[in-house]
Amino acid sequence: MTGDHYFTAEPTTAAQPREVEFSVAGRDFTLTSAGGVFSADRLDPGTAVLLRKAELPSTDAAGPLLDLGCGFGPITCVLATCAPDATVWAVDVNERARELTAANAARVGAADRVRVAAPDDVPADLAFAELWSNPPIRIGKAELHELLRRWLPRLAPDGVAWLVVARHLGGDSLHRWLVEEGWQVDRRASQKGYRVLRVTR
Ligand SMILES: C[S@@+](CC[C@H](N)C(=O)[O-])C[C@H]1O[C@@H](n2cnc3c(N)ncnc32)[C@H](O)[C@@H]1O
The pLDDT of residue 12 is above 50: yes
The pLDDT of residue 2 is above 90: no
Cβ-contact 17, 96 below 8 angstroms: no
The Cβ-side half-sphere exposure at 71, using a 13 Å CA radius, reads 26
| pLDDT at residue 10 in the model | 82
Task: List 173's β-bridge partners, or say none.
Answer: none
- CA-nearest residue for atom 25, ligand 1, is 7
The pLDDT of residue 201 is above 90: yes
Site residues for ligand 1, CB cut-off 6 Å? 6-7, 38-39, 44, 47, 68-71, 74-75, 91-94, 97, 119, 134, 136, 139, 147
| Predicted TM-score (pTM) of this structure | 0.96
The pLDDT of residue 110 is above 80: yes
37-41, 113-117, 168-172: least confidently modelled range: 168-172
Mean pLDDT of the chain: 95
Residue type at 104?
N
Q: Of all atoms in ligand 1, which is nearest to the CA of residue 44?
A: 9
